[in-house]
């Protein structure tokens, strides 16, 4: 089974959707790139000057503009943030929604296959400090190294934190999305 086929199986189960409930609609792209040495997952480090999520590791993405679908927003944002041509993005499906509780974003994660990535990433210097590609085999094998237990409005929450071999640390909403992606992909994974 190819990496692409494993990814397709990961989105067979319908995604769990959440109501907007006054949150800002946003979409992120979990872009998996076909590389000669093995598939990689694209992430980015937000620039330090960003109003929200500054310096954090996340996925390309952002707000859904009026008249736009989540898929259109994810493609547009990936183009604007890292130079991923929308026509090179093969959407495979949605993953479970998430939300941020401090910045009030409703996040629709979309899984995509990129068979023809650009020769080099073109990070928008205003929004992105750097583009990262994590080996998908390492991502699938990853387990949270720690958990943050907290409460919002009296409700308990637990958030994972991941460390990768290149020093990348993923936490917050991105780590929650990543954990659910791993849980869906792992049973279908055949490197």
pLDDT digits (tens, 9 = 90+) for 112-131: 999 999 999 999 999 999 99
- Overall average pLDDT of the 137-160 stretch: 86
pLDDT over 90 (residue 21): no
CATH number (domain holding residue 80): 3.90.79.10
User: Which range of residues forms the domain containing residue 77?
Assistant: 3-188
pLDDT digits (tens, 9 = 90+) for 50-71: 676 667 899 999 999 999 999 9
- Residues 6 or more apart whose CB falls under 8 angstroms from that of 75 comprise 29, 86, 89
* CA dist., res. 109 & res. 101, Å (int): 16
Tokens of residue 85, six digits:
């041509």
Cα separation values, 62 from 5, 80, 159, 160, 184, Å:
27, 10, 21, 22, 23
Which of helix, strand or coil describes residue 155? strand
The total number of structural domains that make up the chain:
1
At residue 183, the 3 state secondary structure works out as: helix
């Amino acid at each position: 089974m190819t990496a692409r086929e494993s990814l397709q199986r990961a989105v067979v189960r319908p995604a769990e959707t959440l109501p907007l409930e006054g949150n800002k609609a946003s979409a992120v792209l979990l872009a998996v790139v076909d590389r000669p040495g093995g598939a990689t997952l694209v992430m980015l480090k937000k620039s330090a000057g960003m109003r929200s999520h500054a310096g954090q590791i996340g996925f390309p993405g952002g707000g859904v503009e009026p008249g736009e679908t989540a898929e259109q927003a994810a493609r547009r944002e990936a183009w604007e943030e890292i130079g991923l041509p929308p026509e090179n993005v093969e959407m495979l499906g949605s993953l479970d929604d998430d939300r941020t509780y401090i910045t009030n974003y409703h996040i629709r994660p979309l899984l995509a296959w990129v068979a023809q990535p650009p020769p080099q990433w073109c990070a928008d210097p205003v929004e992105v400090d750097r583009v990262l590609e994590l080996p998908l085999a390492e991502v699938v094998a990853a387990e949270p190294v720690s958990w943050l237990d907290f409460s919002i409005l009296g409700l308990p929450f637990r958030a994972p934190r991941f460390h990768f071999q290149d020093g990348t640390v993923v936490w917050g909403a991105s780590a929650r999305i990543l954990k659910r992606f791993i849980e869906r992909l792992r049973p279908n994974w055949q490197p």
